[in-house]
Amino acid sequence: MKPYLLDMLKQLAILGALHGKVELSSSQLGRKLNLSQQTTSRHLIALEKLGYIKREFGVRKQRISISDKGRRELEKEYEIYRRLFEKKDTVYISGKIISGMGEGRYYTVQEEYVRQFKEKLGFIPFPGTLNIEVDQLDLSKLHFIKSRRGIEIEAFSTPDRSFGSVMCYHASISGLKCAAVFPSRSHYSNIVELISPYNLRETLNLKDGDKVEVAIRLGYHEKSRDS
């Protein structure tokens, strides 16, 4: 994306177009960016043609909103700055608590999973997972985490069925030790599942819809030092 178009997209987001429609004229927006009305109009036309914004025209002003494509472009920019300012070995993910389908409890009590969790993560998990639906702005960070090497819980089979591998990362939530787990067979791209030796919901008094932040540590491929 051309830098001058990205600058305008960011200014529109600052004015509120990321979360709704903002009403303003080309000259008003131009003054914010120190651009002429004609140049501002050309840039807005380009952003609209490229699919980054949507516009509705009134008598004197226009209503502008940032599209999903524009949001994704801003998320990329946001991720760059977050990586610059946060610790390289820790990534912070925000989201809200949601209920799962009960599958986490079934999988976390399987004997072979439990054995590998204890051996590789340093703890036996409380039955079940704490599920977090990741905020839209943090999805690119979630993809980044998944691209990094984690702690692999290997696949295995029983006489009845097979169980897939799981990639794990040491983590913490509100100071409590846990691990973020990503089953290889999962179909969800916006969910983080946490396992912990604690009942996180009960210990932290969490309910569906509560906002939380998880610190996920990268580059640690052995038992957590505080295990």
| Local confidence pLDDT in tens for the 227 residues of the chain | 888 999 999 999 999 999 899 999 999 999 999 999 999 999 999 999 999 999 998 877 899 999 999 999 998 888 777 666 665 688 999 999 999 777 778 888 889 999 999 999 999 999 999 999 999 888 888 888 988 889 999 999 988 898 889 999 999 999 999 999 998 877 677 999 999 999 999 999 999 999 999 999 987 655 544 44
Q: What count of other Cβ atoms lies within 10 Å of the Cβ of residue 108?
A: 19
> Which among 13, 40, 73 is the end of a domain?
73
Domain CATH number, residue 98 = 2.40.30.30
Identify the pLDDT of residue 76.
84
Residue 196 and residue 178 in contact, taking contact as beta carbons nearer than 8 Å: yes
Identify the pLDDT of residue 62.
93
Beta bridge partners of 214: 93, 173
Identify the pLDDT of residue 225.
42
Are 97 and 200 in a shared domain? yes
Given its phi and psi angles, is residue 217 left (phi above 0), alpha (psi -120 to 50 degrees) or beta? beta
Identify the pLDDT of residue 106.
83
Q: Domain range spanning residue 213? A: 86-217
> Which among 52, 73, 94 is the end of a domain?
73
Give the pTM: 0.59
Are 142 and 35 in a shared domain? no
> Could you tell me if residue 90 is inside a domain?
yes
Distance CA 114, CA 134 (A): 26
Distance CA 112, CA 86 (A): 36
22-24: strand order across its sheet: 22-24, 62-66, 53-57
Distant-in-sequence, close-in-space partners of 94: CB < 8 Å, separation ≥ 6: 134, 135, 137, 138, 211, 212, 213, 214
Are 14 and 106 in a shared domain? no
Coil vs helix vs strand at 154 = coil
Identify the pLDDT of residue 223.
53
> Which among 42, 73, 104 is the end of a domain?
73
Distant-in-sequence, close-in-space partners of 179: CB < 8 Å, separation ≥ 6: 117, 121, 125, 151, 168, 169, 170, 171, 194, 195, 196
Are 98 and 34 in a shared domain? no
Are 42 and 154 in a shared domain? no
> Could you tell me if residue 110 is inside a domain?
yes
Residue in the structure block whose two tokens are 């295995």: 156
Longest dimension (CA), the chain: 72
CA 217 to chain CA mean position, Å: 15
> Could you tell me if residue 47 is inside a domain?
yes
Distance CA 61, CA 44 (A): 13
- Number of domains composing the chain: 2
Identify the pLDDT of residue 134.
95
